[in-house]
Amino acid sequence: MSKRNSLLIFILTIGAFGIINTEMGVIGILPYIADHFHISVSKAGWMVSLFALTVAISGPTMPLLFSGINRKKAMLFVLGIFVLGNIVSIFTSNYAIAIIARVIPAIFHPIYFSAAFTMAANSVRKEEAPKAVSKVFIGVSAGMVLGVPIASFLASAVSFQISMSFFAIVNAAVFIATLVLFPSMPVKERLSYGKQLSVLKKTITWLSIVAVILLNSAIFGVYSYLAEFLKAVTNTSGTLISVMLVIFGGANIIGNIVAGKLLTKDANKFVISFPFALGVVYIILFLLGQFTLPMAIITLVWGILAGIGTNINQYWITSAAPEAPDFANGLFLSSVNLGTTFGTAVGGLFISELGTQYVVLVGLLSLILGLVFILLRNYMQNPAHAKQFSR
């Protein structure tokens, strides 16, 4: 990879960090948001849930609509919207306006990531594409790992407005770097909307979408309740819970690096082995989760696998529809958000009906179903089987 391409991918990684930081960073400052706008913490949580729901809805459509636009211009447009949204959030005292300032950037969120993943993949040889994409995912992980504690620290040490300013500054810096350092990137071959939408006629595309929804459900259906699990089952202190979350996040970054290398070797075998590996971790979590030291080790391994899983999800959908990369990346973003929503909802049901320890079951069940759809796709990829199935 040339030094120039490495620089561009680094900027894309920081851009991913800035946007995910805007999305997830507010998790750490929900109490301050509630105080600032004089609302309940649960209502402040709309700033997270509405953002995620908007991304899930706009995931397939917005990359499709922007697929023919110069990628540099599209990314500058999205980054500009995020900067403006951040600025409005800093100065408004009206919660409804603050919500609008969150939802509008969320509409365009998939455009940046779709363009970033496609550009990263196109900057290297085809067989090296997963490794390049995994570097962009490091920014996603860093946004989740570092964004929350940084925003929380700034809000507690200085003010809510300074915390929101951090989001704006990162996005503004990436906007300037993209404007100055990125070359113009017109789309060489503009695909019609019909041609891109035609990938939805392929059985493999739908098998991949369902598999990704289930794999992300397996990861986030359990991870969403990690803090609650550590508190109720492992009986750890608040400080140790924070440490465990940092361990998980740091391990997630490691998983992104590992995944990029493994997916370039034998992707199909790697994808098939993933549900088994994570399933073993969940079984151990269920059996030994009440012990602090084993839980720390489990959290480390689990975090690595979660980072790997994110890369697998992106690869699994884009490899099913390589003829429409931007649209495929939009489908990926929508699928993982739906998986997160589904897994978190089902995980909550298991906790309320059976107890916190049994949240692991949503992970195991999702992995089993996900494996079925992974194997079905592999079966369908055999030309003889695909022909037989179509008959």
Considering the entire predicted model, what is its pTM? 0.78
Residue 29 sits in the same domain as residue 97:
yes
List alpha helices for the chain, DSSP H. Answer: 3-24, 30-37, 41-44, 46-58, 61-65, 71-91, 95-122, 129-157, 160-181, 193-197, 203-223, 226-232, 238-263, 267-288, 292-318, 325-354, 360-381, 383-390
Residue 388: predicted pLDDT = 54
**Domain, as residue range, for 144:** 3-190
Q: Residue 49: what pLDDT?
A: 73
User: Computed from CA positions of residues 35, 36, 40, 46, in that sequence, does the dihedral angle turn out positive or negative?
Assistant: negative
The residue among 162, 190, 218 that closes a domain is 190
Tokens 């997830």, residue located: 24
Number of H helices, E strands in the chain: 18, 0
**The pLDDT of residue 258:** 86
| Separation CA 330–CA 56 (nearest Å) | 9
Instruction: Identify the pLDDT of residue 28.
Output: 67
Between 5-9, 120-124, 353-357, the lowest mean confidence (pLDDT) is in 120-124
Domain boundary among 169, 190, 211: 190
- Asked whether residue 32 carries a pLDDT value surpassing 70, the answer given is yes
Most confident of 54-68, 94-108, 179-193: 94-108
Mean of pLDDT values over 29-33: 79
Residue ending a domain, choose from 171, 190, 209: 190
Are 340 and 52 within 8 A, CB to CB? Answer: yes
In the block, residue with structure tokens 């990938």: 199
Residue written as token pair 């794999």: 215
Place of tokens 């369908």: 380
Taking the alpha carbons at both ends of the chain, their separation in whole angstroms is 45
Q: What is the mean pLDDT of the chain?
A: 85
pLDDT digits (tens, 9 = 90+) for 128-140: 777 778 888 788 7
Residue 242 has pLDDT above 90, yes or no: no
| 62 shares its domain with 109 | yes
Whether residue 255 sits in one domain with residue 218: yes
Same domain, 169 and 198: no
Identify the CATH number of the domain in which residue 236 sits: 1.20.1250.20
